[in-house]
C-alpha cells in the first residue's frame, strides 16, 4: 500500500515539476522574442527624468544583459504557477482550513509584494537615479566629473535590488500572517512591546550581512524594518482596544 502511494505521489510530483519546467521554457521563449520591451521597461526609471545616456564598453554586454533579463523575468512570471502547483500537490494531504489559509496568505503577501515592486520601480528608483546623477563636479575647463551609467551594471543593480526587496517583503508579510493566526494577540503585544528592539537589531544584522555594503541600502532597510514593526504594533494596539470595548459593551 505504501509503495503504491509513494509511486503515485512521485509520479504526480514529476509531472507537476515538468509543467513548471515547460512554463519556464515558454516564458524564456516569449521573453527572448520581446527583449526590446524588457529593456525599455527596465530603463524606464532612468529615462523618466531625461537623464544621461548609457555606456556599453563591450559588445558582449548587450548579450549578457538580454540573457540576464530573460532568466530573471522568466523566474518571476513562473513563480505564481509554481505556487499553484504546490497548492494542488498539497491539496490531497492538507485539511481544508490549511489550504484556505495558504491561499489567503499567498494572495495577500504576493499582492503587497507586487504593489511594493510597482512603487519601487515607478516612484522610488527614478528619484534615486535623479539624485545620483546630480553628483557632478564642474570647475571650469581644467577639471570636470560627469556621471555616466554602464547599462550592464545598471540592469544588474536594479534587478538585484528590486527582487531582493520584493522577496524580503513577501517573506516578512508571510511570517507576519502565520504568527498572527498562530499566536494570540496578547502574546504578540507582549513580544513587540518588550522585544521589539531585539527583533529589529537581529533582523538588521542578518540583512547587513547578506546585502552589499551600500549606505543607501542599509538606511532603506533600517527605515523599512522600523516602519513595519511600528505599523504592526499600532495595529495590535487597535485590535486590543476593540476587544476590550466589545467586552465592556457585552457586560
pLDDT tens digits for range 206-233: 777 766 666 777 787 788 888 888 887 8
Residue 149's H or E segment, with its range, is strand 149-150
Task: Pull the grid cell for residue 223.
Answer: 527605515
pLDDT per position as a tens digit, 138-153: 555 555 566 667 777 7
Residue 132: per-residue pLDDT: 66
Section 239-249 average pLDDT:
67
Q: CA nearest 116: which of 91, 108, 237? A: 108
Residue 40: per-residue pLDDT: 78
Would the pLDDT of 5 be above 60? yes
Residue 147, classed as helix, strand or coil, is coil
Residue 91, classed as helix, strand or coil, is coil
Would the pLDDT of 249 be above 60? no
| Residue 22 · residue 11 · CB < 8 Å | no
Question: What is the rounded average pLDDT for all residues in the chain?
Answer: 77
| Residue 48 · residue 126 · CB < 8 Å | yes
pLDDT per position as a tens digit, 156-198: 777 777 777 788 788 877 877 777 777 777 777 777 778 888 8
Q: CA nearest 221: which of 172, 157, 179, 180? A: 172
pTM of the model: 0.66
Residue 138's H or E segment, with its range, is strand 137-138
Amino acid at each position: 500500500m505504501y509503495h503504491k502511494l509513494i509511486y503515485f505521489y512521485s509520479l504526480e510530483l514529476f509531472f507537476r515539476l515538468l509543467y513548471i519546467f515547460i512554463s519556464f521554457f515558454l516564458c524564456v521563449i516569449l521573453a527572448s522574442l520581446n527583449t526590446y520591451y524588457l529593456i525599455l521597461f527596465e530603463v524606464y526609471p532612468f529615462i523618466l527624468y531625461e537623464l544621461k545616456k548609457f555606456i556599453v564598453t563591450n559588445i558582449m554586454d548587450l548579450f549578457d544583459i538580454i540573457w540576464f533579463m530573460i532568466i530573471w523575468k522568466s523566474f518571476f512570471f513562473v513563480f505564481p504557477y509554481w505556487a499553484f502547483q504546490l497548492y494542488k500537490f498539497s491539496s490531497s494531504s492538507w485539511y481544508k482550513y490549511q489550504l484556505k489559509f495558504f491561499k489567503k496568505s499567498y494572495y495577500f503577501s504576493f499582492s503587497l509584494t507586487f504593489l511594493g515592486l510597482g512603487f519601487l520601480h515607478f516612484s522610488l528608483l527614478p528619484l534615486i537615479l535623479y539624485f545620483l546623477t546630480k553628483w557632478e563636479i564642474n570647475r571650469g575647463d581644467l577639471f570636470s566629473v560627469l556621471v555616466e551609467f554602464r547599462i550592464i551594471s545598471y540592469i544588474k543593480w536594479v534587478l538585484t535590488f528590486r527582487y531582493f526587496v520584493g522577496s524580503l517583503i513577501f517573506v516578512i508579510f508571510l511570517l507576519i500572517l502565520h504568527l498572527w493566526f498562530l499566536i494570540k494577540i496578547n502574546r504578540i503585544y507582549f513580544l513587540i512591546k518588550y522585544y521589539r528592539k531585539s527583533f529589529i537589531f537581529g533582523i538588521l544584522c542578518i540583512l547587513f550581512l547578506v546585502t552589499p555594503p551600500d549606505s543607501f541600502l542599509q538606511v532603506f532597510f533600517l527605515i523599512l524594518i522600523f516602519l513595519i514593526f511600528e505599523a504592526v504594533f499600532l495595529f495590535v494596539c487597535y485590535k486590543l482596544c476593540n476587544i476590550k470595548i466589545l467586552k465592556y459593551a457585552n457586560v
